[in-house]
Amino acid sequence: MSGFHRYVGVVHVHTAFSDGTGDIEEVIAAARAVSLDFIVITDHNDLRAKGYEGWHGDTLVLAGEEITRPGGNHMLALGIEEFIPPELSPQEAIDAAKAQGGLAFLAHPFYRGSPINGDPPLPWRDWDVVGFDGIEVWNLTSDLYQSLGERGIESPPRDPLIYASPNPEALRKWDELLARGYTVGLGGLDAHAERVARWGNEVILPYDKSFRALRLHLFLREPLKKDLEHDRYLIYNGLASGNFAIVFDWIGEGRDAFLRADCCGKAFLPGETIGWEGAHIRGEFPQGTWIRLVSGGEEVWRGEGSMEFEIDAYGIYRLEAFRDDRIWILFNPFYCLPEGGGGRERIYSLRKTFRR
């Protein structure tokens, strides 16, 4: 997108500091090998990865925590400096992350577990909480293992990623939450590079494969400078604002796809609030891509390739792109709200959360 800077990275990665199989040096090396611009490590109830924050070659390493409890209510706390204990209630954990100027994302919110890796159900259960920034609408590992288990697959497929897709319940919940207000949709890896005992201890999702599969394409208005404090601010601010797309790069490189909204002589990024009068949503996608625009959980437009959609009513509009009848890209929405409608103030307050 002209005038914006695109950075590709991943979120929700585990190392040997918790239950990942790779030590942190191995994980960072894998991220560098596939040319990630950034990686956010979130070990279970552990912040030791913060000692490795910074630029490693051309890859920025950041660290948060997955606050992990038995039976579910797992939460990604990003941009924090101090450990958040798992004994806190879900609401207390959200409040603790926000008190540190951090972000709170509800992890794998509809994960029903899987016989493939022996996981029990680990969904988000406490939907009375408030103040969180968003939810994982696509968790590569959990959603894949659940799908493989539900399909009754007894031996490792040649490429398990042919079964990868977001959890439909998470997408429906995202639309429900969007109807109430600003909610970021996150794509996380939940990468462990774990061995699957029932499949001969085979590692079906090694780190490098996960890092090439489901990635965040983050759109920034100013470039990263290889300065940790400056760049950490920009990355977390972009995640807080939803200025990114979740791209399943495994089925097609997403760098040639773009989406923006134009209004009043200005260009707006996904995740931003615009005035609707005269606004247009415009996108360019490779040949063979079909796309649908969703508002209020309902499809309001469908087409192929290039798109231009004139907004004629207030609403929240998000776009899904498909290749080979599979979800390829999920964009965070545009918030088409009147002045004083609530969304604009919410976004600005989030941006003020992070201080240089």
Each residue of 113-165: pLDDT tens digit? 999 999 999 999 999 999 999 999 999 999 999 999 999 988 888 899 999 99
Q: What is the mean pLDDT of residues 32-56?
A: 98
**3-class SS letters over the chain:** CCCCEEEEEEEEECCCCCCCCCCHHHHHHHHHHCCCCEEEEEEECCCHHHHHCEEECCEEEEEEEEECCCCCCCEEEECCCCCCCCCCCHHHHHHHHHHCCCEEEECCCCCCCECCCCECCCCCCCCCCCCCCEEEEEEHHHHHHHHHHHCCCCCCCCCHHHHCCCCHHHHHHHHHHHHHCCCEEEEECCECCCEEHHHCCEECCCHHHHHHHEEEEEEECCCCCCCHHHHHHHHHHHHHHCCEEEEEHHHCCCCCCEEEEEECCEEECCCCEECCCCCEEEEECCCCCEEEEEECCEEEEEEECCEEEECCCCEEEEEEEEECCEEEEEECCEEECCCCCCHHHHHHHHHCCCCC
Domain-ending residue, one of 207, 230, 251: 251
What pLDDT sits at residue 356?
A: 34
Instruction: Look up the CATH number of the domain holding residue 214.
Output: 3.20.20.140
Is residue 266 over pLDDT 80?
A: yes
Residue pLDDT, tens place only, 272-300? 999 877 899 999 999 999 999 999 999 99
Is residue 352 over pLDDT 60?
A: no
What pLDDT sits at residue 2?
A: 67
Domain-ending residue, one of 216, 251, 286: 251
**Domain match, 187 and 242 both:** yes
What pLDDT sits at residue 3?
A: 81
Query: What average pLDDT does the structure give for the chain?
Result: 93
Residue 44 lies inside a defined structural domain of this protein: yes
**Domain match, 302 and 210 both:** no
Residue 356 lies inside a defined structural domain of this protein: no
What pLDDT sits at residue 197?
A: 85
**Domain match, 346 and 326 both:** yes
Is residue 351 over pLDDT 80?
A: no
